[in-house]
Amino acid sequence: MTTSPTPEGTPDVPAQVFEEFLQALGAAGASAELVARLRKTLLEDRTFSERALKEAVLAEEPLP
């Protein structure tokens, strides 16, 4: 297994876990919007509070 290195050569394991999770979530049929919201929370904003996660997971989904 390889971990994505930071500029210092230190692998960022949380980022790798989040990336693999988002890919698995997409492959399991989750909506693109849900994956995008979680990507923003976990990988861009790097906020992990329950409130932030709840907003990402439970936000109203667009109608099919």
Map the footprint of other proteins across residues 17-36, applying CB under 8 A.
Answer: 17-18, 20-21, 24-25, 28, 30, 34
Total of residues contacting other proteins (CB under 8 A): 33
SS (H, E, C) 18-31: HHHHHHHHHHCCCC
Centroid of chain to Cα 9 = 22
Which residues are near other proteins by CB under 8 A?
A: 1, 3, 5-11, 13-14, 16-18, 20-21, 24-25, 28, 30, 34, 38, 42, 46, 48-51, 53-54, 57-58, 61
